[in-house]
Structure 1
Amino acid sequence: MTHVASVADTRSLAGRIAPLLVAAACLLAANGLSMTMISVRARAEGLSDALIGLLGSSYFAGLILGVLLTPFLIARAGHIRVFSTLAAISAIAVLAIAFTPAGWLWMGVRLVSGAAFCGTAMVLESWLNSIASNASRGRILSVYRIVDMMAVMGGQFVLPVFGPVGPDILIVLAILFCFALVPISLTREKNPPAPPARLVDPFMLWRVSPVALVAVFTIGLTNGAFRMIGPIYAETLGLGLDAVAAFIAIWVFAGAVFQYPAGWFSDRLDRRHVLGVFTVGAGLACLFISGASSRFELFAGVFLFGGFALPLYSLCAAHANDHAEPGQFVDVVAGLTLAYGVGAVAGPFIASLVMEIFEPAAFFIYTATLHLSLVVFIFIRILSREAVPASQRHRFVWLLRTSPMIFRLARSDKLEDKDREAR
Structure 2
Amino acid sequence: MHAIRPLIPLFIAAGILLAGNGVQGTAIAIRGAQEGFSTSLIGLIGTAYFVGFLLGCLYITRLLNAVGHIRTFAALAAITASGTLLLVIIVDPIAWLLIRFAVGFCFSGLFTTIESWINSGVRNETRGRVLAVYRIVDIFAVTGAQFMLPAFGAGGFTLFAVMCLMITLSLVPVSLADRSNPTPPAEFRFDLKGIWALSPLACIGCVTIGATNSAFRLIGPLYAEGIGLSISDVAVFMSVGILGGAVLQYPLGYLSDRFDRRTVLLVTTAGAVASGLFLASMAGTSPSLNYLGIFLFGAFALPLYSLSAAHANDHAKAGQHVMVAAGLMFFFSLGASIGPYLSSAVVELFGPNALFTYTSVVHGALIVVTIWRMRARGPVPAESRGPFSWLLRTSPVFPKMARGNNGNDARNGSTSDEASSIDRPQ
Q: TM class by shorter-chain length?
A: over 0.9
Match of 2:415 in 1: 418
Distance in 2 between residues matched to 1:54 and 1:190, nearest whole Å? 41
| Residue aligning to 1:159 | 149
- Pairing partner for 1:313 from 305, 310, 316: 305
1:68 maps to a residue whose letter is L
**Equivalent position to 1:354, from 346, 351, 362:** 346
Tell me which residue corresponds to 1:114. Answer: 104
Deviations 1:365-416 (A, max 9, x none): 1110111111011011111101110101001000011111111110135996
Q: Deviations over 1:20-75 (max 9, x none)?
A: 00101111111101111000000000000110000110011111011111101100
* Superposed counterparts of 1:66-105, under 5 Å: 66-105=56-95
8 Å CA contact 1:42–1:102 kept in 2: the answer is: no
1:370 is matched with: 362
Contact 1:25 1:147 in 2 (8 A): yes
Which residue of 399, 405, 410 maps to 2:391? Answer: 399
Percent identical pairs in the alignment equals: 45
Distance 1:399 1:193 in 2: 23
* Superposition deviation, residue 226 in structure 1: 1.2
Which residue of structure 1 lines up, in the alignment, with residue 240 of structure 2?
250
Cα RMSD over matched residues? Answer: 1.4
1:4: which partner in 2? none
Identify which range, 318-327 or 196-205, moves more after superposition. Answer: 196-205
1:210 aligns with 2:207: no
Q: Is the 8 A contact 2:252 2:264 kept in 1?
A: yes
**In the alignment, what sits opposite 2:267?**
277
Structure 2 Cα separation of the partners of residues 126 and 413 of structure 1: 10
The Cα of 1:205 is off from its aligned counterpart by: 1.5
Residue matched to 1:150: 140
Q: What are the ranges of 5 or more consecutive residues in structure 1 without an aligned counterpart? A: 1-9
TM alignment of 1:226-245, pairs within 5 A:
226-245=216-235
**1:160–1:242 CA contact under 8 A, matched in 2:** yes
Amino acid at match of 1:349: Y
In structure 1, the residue matched to 2:315 is 323
Question: Aligned letter for 2:239?
Answer: A
Quote the Cα distance in structure 2 between the aligned partners of 1:362 and 1:224.
15
Preserved contact between residue 400 and residue 406 of structure 2 (Cα < 8 Å)? no
Contact 1:216-1:336 at 8 Å conserved across structures: yes
Give structure 2 stretches of 5+ with no counterpart.
420-426
Structure 1 position 15, deviation (Å): 2.5
Distance 1:414 1:144 in 2: 16
1:286 corresponds to which of 266, 276, 293: 276
Does residue 54 of structure 1 match 2:44?
yes
Q: Deviation of residue 421 (structure 1)?
A: 7.0
Q: Deviations over 1:178-220 (max 9, x none)?
A: 1100011001101111111134122121100011001110001
1:126 aligned partner: 116
Moved more, 140-149 or 372-381: 372-381
How far residue 418 of structure 1 moved from its aligned partner, in angstroms, is 3.2
Q: Provide the rounded CA distance (Å) in 2 between the counterparts of 1:373 and 1:297.
A: 26
SS in 2 for 1:238: coil
Count of matched residue positions in the alignment of Structure 1 and Structure 2: 412
Determine if contact 1:322/1:388 at 8 Å carries over to the other structure.
yes
Is the contact made by 1:286 and 1:305 (CA closer than 8 Å) also made in structure 2? yes
Residue in structure 1 matching 2:330, options 335, 338, 345: 338
What is the TM-score when the length of structure 1 is the normalising length? 0.95
TM-score by length of 2: 0.94
Q: List per-residue Cα deviations over 1:285-304 (Å, max 9, x = no partner).
A: 00000011211111100000
